[in-house]
Chain A
Amino acid sequence: MSWRLSRASWPRLTFWKGIFLIVVAVGLYATWVRFSRGLGAATNLGDEFPWGLWVGFDVLCGVMLAAGGFTLTAAVYIFNAERFRPIVRPTVLTAFLGYVLVVVALLYDLGRGDRIWHPLVMWNPRSVMFEVAWCVMLYTTVLALEFAPVVFERLRLERPRRILRGISLPLVILGVILSTLHQSSLGSLYLIVPEKLHPLWYTPLLPVLFFLSAIGIGLAMTIFESSLSAKYFQRQLELPLLRELGRFLVVVLAVYGVLRMQDLHHRDALRFVLEPGYASSLFLIEVVLGLALPIVLLLSPRVRARVGGLYLSSVLVILGFITNRLNVSITGFEAATGATYVPRWTEIAVTAMIIAAGFAVFSLAVKHLPIFAAEPSPVVPAAPPVPARVHHVRA
């Protein structure tokens, strides 16, 4: 990028930099409160409500929103959907950053973050949390290795890049399997609380529903990011490809929706939907706004014809599933146990700082690394390069 070009885009950057600096300053103060005075002073958690925003949003939603990484690498490397290759790098970067930030959030939330490594040497294979811990560690490593070629390319380190390319397929398979385990195990965490979680959300199918929704989110996040990149980095997928992702998304959402309703019906829990109150309102927000509406929208060819329509639908899906994760981890407990929880400002400040850091590192990476450069196809090196689907919107 030329010096003059970055100079020209200064005004907008200054505004965002200002916001960023404020968020970081407040976040750092909250960090000081957290580590100097403990969880009691920094959170509204208590013996009745041991898990709050940092688990429900930073960890559960963080992992969920990183699902684009495994969805897209599976599509490109395993299902050979080469046309999506141009967005593999930004998606893997998002997933990697997502996982790193989840680990950062864990360091805040764990009472003894200094012992975060304990599950490596102290095993309890009966624990879902043990599985979660290993999945976080292994998949973060896999994502780092999947992303490393971009860094090596920038640094012109040919040898390590070739080595990683040689193991890219096993790496992708490992990543997909670890993601499957991890996404579903975050649902399995809640299998142990049948008497505490509201029946609208407690189901033996939690791991299946979490996994299916992760695929949906993976597709929605890819559409969402591509649209955002179009705006801020002047890069995006061609519309037909976004449209195709939209079609996949409808199918995943429909399968998820049907399974969800069947499950409620078989557990005789549909009656809770009609029971007016806190729980049913939250459920309806999740299912009507986050599931039914985007399905209807995406089924319409007119909506799928425009980037704006696809973008809106993906935002609805993302907000819907964020609501779902918060319902499972926070509000579903309030409705069933009578205990209440509202995050303290410090919890929100830390979360905001972590999100801001994610955006900042992403922008820096885009500026300094070949994120949007079309990666040459590794399978048939002799063949002419795959036509780059990425193009300059404003060009």
Chain B
Amino acid sequence: MSKAILYDATQCIGCKLCEQACADRWGHPYDDTLAAQEKLSAEKLTAVLSRGDRFMRRMCMHCADPTCASVCPVGAFTKTAAGPVVYDESKCIGCRYCMLACPFGVPRYEWNKTLPRVRKCDMCADRVAAGGQPACAEICPTGATLFGEYETLVSLAQQRIREAPDHYVPHVYGLHEVGGTSVLLLSGVPFEQFGYRTDLLHEPMPMLTWRVLSRVPDLVLLGSVLLGGIWWITHRREEVAAAEAQSASRSRESG
């Protein structure tokens, strides 16, 4: 069964314990300066954004059909059956196509290292595999970040909107975006206010490139036959000339 995270911004008090827990889990530094930075970086894989008394988390959305996994030339990203999208740094060549392509702008790069890696939230895949839950969900004091079965959390999110329609934007973010994500968001204010795009496709992004890529083998075969055929036609005149020259010399010999 696939796992998911439900983040309900209306229950978030902006304590940023999730940021702290995340930094601890990765062994990243964490202090007041880093806490004040409201954006992701190579050493801050989740961030709590604030607009007045409203909050919103940013982190990897763990797409069902991840763009990063499709664009990576060496397949460094994998969508695990359990839900997390994980990154194998030993494969990565550092082309940064994942950063360009991610519809949520999540992957970060170690720009100042000589042997840099891509960094992003992995939903604490090791803890999840061991039957535990992600550090951010475990530490959340209000239950704003919940970890559980995907289906359960989807129904919970829909139920909350149904029961308190004035309290929520009528949109479970991540239910349909790019074909669905394993991180679901609820908010009391429009998602755009926190930089979440609501104009994303409702089908997986990888099909945008697969539509073209899947035709490559056909194109190779078709192209070879076409080009070979054109060569055969355009060089016929020389064959004729050679044949004529041959027959001419033969008739000269016999005559």
Contact = CB atoms under 8 A, between A and B. Distances in A.
A246 B224 CA distance: 28
A177 B215 CA distance: 13
A79 B113 contact: no
Interface in B186-223: 197, 199-201, 205-206, 208-213, 216, 219-220, 223
Given A37-B114, A111-B92, A122 B238 contact: no
B232 to A, nearest CB: 10
A116 B91 CA distance: 10
Interface string B152-180: 00000000000000000000000000000
Contact of A77 (B111, B115, B231): B231
A62 B185 CA distance: 43
A16 interface: no
A203 to B, nearest CB: 12
Interface in A163-215: 169, 173, 176-177, 180-181, 184-185, 188-189, 191-196, 204, 207
B73 interface: yes
Contacts of A46: 111
Interface of A is mostly: helix
Contact of B101 (A115, A169, A181, A192): A192
B220 to A, nearest CB: 6
A75 to B, nearest CB: 10
* Most chain A CB neighbours (cut-off 10 Å) among B114, B116, B220: B114
A80 interface: yes
Given A35-B114, A78-B234, A195-B200, A173 B72 contact: no
A129 B95 contact: yes
A131 B109 CA distance: 23
A189 B231 CA distance: 32
A167 to B, nearest CB: 13
A123 interface: yes
Contact of B73 (A109, A113, A130, A194): A130
A127 B219 CA distance: 17
Interface in A128-158: 128-133
B94 A112 contact: yes
B71 interface: yes
A119 interface: yes
Contacts of A11: none
Given A122-B75, A192-B209, A51 B100 contact: yes
A74 B212 CA distance: 24
A110 interface: yes
A124 interface: yes
A180 B210 contact: no
Interface string B215-244: 010011001100110110011011001100
Given A36-B114, A128-B71, A74 B92 contact: no
Contacts of A133: 73
A169 B95 contact: no
B216 A131 contact: yes
Q: Which range contains the number of A residues in contact with the other chain?
A: 35 or more
A39 B99 contact: no
A177 B227 contact: yes
Given A116-B93, A131-B216, A379-B235, A173 B228 contact: yes
Interface string A7-43: 0000000000000000000000000000111111100
B93 A195 contact: no
A110 B209 contact: no
Given A51-B100, A191-B209, A118 B91 contact: yes
Contacts of B101: 192-193
A194 B93 contact: no
Contacts of B36: none
4 closest residue pairs by CB, A with B = A111-B94, A40-B111, A80-B234, A129-B73
Given A111-B92, A124-B72, A195-B103, 6 more contacts: A127-B72, A129-B71, A131-B213, A173-B231, A192-B70, A192-B206
Interface of B: 40-42, 67, 70-75, 91-97, 99-101, 103, 105, 108-117, 197, 199-201, 205-206, 208-213, 216, 219-220, 223-224, 227-228, 230-231, 234-235, 237-238, 241-242, 245
26 contacts: A47-B99, A50-B96, A50-B99, A51-B96, A79-B234, A80-B237, A109-B95, A111-B94, A113-B93, A115-B74, A115-B91, A115-B93, A125-B213, A126-B206, A126-B209, A127-B72, A127-B97, A128-B71, A129-B73, A130-B74, A132-B73, A177-B223, A181-B220, A195-B197, A204-B211, A380-B242
